[in-house]
Amino acid sequence: MIEKIGINAGKVWTVIDEAGRQNLKEIKKAAKLTDKDLYAALGWLAREGKIALEEVEKELFVSLN
C-alpha cells in the first residue's frame, strides 16, 4: 500500500508541475485517481513539504512549494 501511495504522489506531483496550481477536481481527473488515492497522495506530498494547499471560496487548490 505504501508503494502505491508513493507512485500516486508522483503522478499528482507531475500533474501540478506540468500544469501549475490546480484544484482537486482537475488533479483527480488528470492523474486518473480515486478520491481515496488522491487524498493519500496529497497527504504524502504535504507531509514531505512538497505542496502548498490554499482554500479559496471553499475550494481547495494545490501548488508546488
The count of structural domains within the chain is 1
Give the whole-angstrom CA distance, residue 33 versus residue 49.
21
Residue 25 contacts residue 11 (beta carbons within 8 Å): no
Give the whole-angstrom CA distance, residue 48 versus residue 32.
22
> In one letter, which amino acid is 51?
I
State the pTM of this model.
0.94
C-alpha cell at 1: 500500500
Of the pLDDT bands very low, low, confident and very high (cuts 50, 70, 90), residue 56 is very high
**Residue range of the domain that includes 33:** 2-64
Query: What's the alpha-carbon Rg for the chain, to the nearest Å?
Result: 11
Burial class (CB in 10 A: 0-12, 13-18, 19+), 16: buried
Give the pLDDT score at 58: 96
CATH code, domain with 38: 1.10.10.10
Of the pLDDT bands very low, low, confident and very high (cuts 50, 70, 90), residue 32 is very high
